[in-house]
Amino acid sequence: MTPDLSVKLGALTLPNPLIAASGCFGYGLEYEQVVDLSSLGGIVSKGLFMKERQGHPPPRIVETPAGMINAIGLQGIGVHRFVNEKLPLLRRAGARTFVNVCGTTLDEYVEVCKVLSDAEGVAAIELNISCPNIKEGGIQFGCSLDGTYHVVSAVKKATHLPVIPKLTPNVTDVASFARAAEDAGADAISLVNTFLAMAIDVETRRPRITNVLGGLSGPAIRPIAVRMVWECYQLVKIPIIGMGGITDARDAIEFMLAGAAAVQIGTQNFVDPFIWSKVIDGMQDYMKRHNVARISELVGTFDPAPPRAVHA
């Protein structure tokens, strides 16, 4: 019997818990040549505003120990072109498409979501209130409990689609933000977005990326992200989509044990675009070894009792 990898996120059912993270998978179509999009649990689009955006001048990324900093600046084609040019192709490819929605104002969030509600083929809205790279990228909502509550409620009223706010880790108590989102009617939450970071070229005394500040992602942040998922899992009932430095099945399972109902993979997809089937294989292997019939049984089953003896 093959292990059952399907998971539920509220009303959505995904064939497996692996979702491509926003900004790390283009609009999905770029990856059609290396991966069958329908074989993923889902994909999240690059962040979209109403209008097109050019983003920040390059250089936009720099590597750091076990991680990378990016300040792309939400370059994107805007929601209308996305709906017209990308969505039909994504539907044809069988992708379950989550759309990462940005806004400079509460109204813009609402407007973008309305456009998406009228389109066909959107599985859910991931509300980006956490991009660290641009001042007007919603982070002012994401760093205030009231702001989080208001933008989520407003969007919920404007759309029938599931609304999944994506939380920033750059706060003192991420679980309180999860609760604010839940109170406002969020269907699930995604976490974490990137950590605000910077790197200096000491030879020139200049920044390594033009925007100076950027978001840290990759394996370096995983231990912090896992902690945040676990904190939120203990406080809220809505499903959590966990991410931050996942590189293999072990890492994905770590997030699920901590309480993630599904997971996203971002940076590692750059390192290995063929990662998806490897993680699926690794998960099935783990389930067989541990006699787990359904992957969803794992969610939140982390046992905080002391480690078993190191020596057998």
Ligand X SMILES: Cc1cc2nc3c(=O)[nH]c(=O)nc-3n(C[C@H](O)[C@H](O)[C@H](O)COP(=O)(O)O)c2cc1C
Active site residues: 131
- Among its own copies, other proteins, ligand X, none, the one that 141 touches (CB under a kind-dependent 5 to 8 A) is none
Residue 258 Cβ, how far from other proteins at the closest point, in Å?
22
Name which position in 16, 128, 153, 168 contacts ligand X (CB under 6 A).
128
For 305, the 3-state DSSP assignment is coil
Size of the site for ligand X (CB under 6 A): 25
Q: Which is nearer to its own copies, 89 or 198 (CB)?
A: 198
Cα separation values, 240 from 33, 137, 194, 267, Å = 30, 22, 16, 19
Whose structure tokens read 């994401």? Answer: 142
φ/ψ of residue 124, rounded to 5: -165, 165
Q: Which is nearer to other proteins, 22 or 190 (CB)?
A: 22
Q: Which is nearer to its own copies, 187 or 231 (CB)?
A: 231
Query: What residues form DSSP beta bridges with 119?
Result: none
What separation, in Å, do the N-terminal and C-terminal C-alpha atoms of the chain show?
31
Name which position in 54, 310, 311, 312 contacts its own copies (CB under 8 A).
310
- Among its own copies, ligand X, other proteins, none, the one that 166 touches (CB under a kind-dependent 5 to 8 A) is ligand X
Cα separation, 48 vs 60, in Å, equals 18
Q: Which is nearer to other proteins, 202 or 310 (CB)?
A: 310
Burial class from Cβ neighbours inside 10 Å (0-12, 13-18, 19+) for residue 307 reads exposed
Binding site for other proteins (CB under 8 A): 23-26, 30-31, 33-34, 46, 54-55, 57-63, 65-68, 70, 72, 75, 218-219, 267, 269-274, 306, 309-312
Residue 126 Cβ, how far from other proteins at the closest point, in Å?
17
- Among other proteins, ligand X, its own copies, none, the one that 100 touches (CB under a kind-dependent 5 to 8 A) is ligand X
**Choices 16-24, 149-157, 275-283, 293-301; region in contact with ligand X by CB under 6 A:** 16-24
Q: Which is nearer to other proteins, 44 or 188 (CB)?
A: 44
3-state helix, strand, coil in the chain (%, to 5): 35, 20, 45
Instruction: Assess contact for 130 and 167: CB atoms under 8 A.
Output: yes
| Residue 245 in contact with its own copies, rule: CB under 8 A | yes
The phi-psi region of residue 16 (left if phi > 0; otherwise alpha if psi is between -120 and 50; otherwise beta) is: beta
Instruction: Assess contact for 259 and 226: CB atoms under 8 A.
Output: no
| Residue 286 in contact with its own copies, rule: CB under 8 A | yes
For 266, the 3-state DSSP assignment is coil
- Among ligand X, its own copies, other proteins, none, the one that 205 touches (CB under a kind-dependent 5 to 8 A) is its own copies
Residues numbered 204-263 forming contacts with ligand X, rule: CB under 6 A: 217-218, 243-246
Q: Which DSSP string do the residues of 121-175 spell out, in sequence order?
A: SEEEEEEE---TT-TTSSHHHHTSHHHHHHHHHHHHHH-SS-EEEEPPS-SS-HH
Residues numbered 151-180 forming contacts with ligand X, rule: CB under 6 A: 166
Name which position in 2, 33, 204, 291 contacts its own copies (CB under 8 A).
204
**Choices 29-37, 95-103, 113-121, 205-213; region in contact with its own copies by CB under 8 A:** 205-213
Q: Which is nearer to its own copies, 87 or 257 (CB)?
A: 257
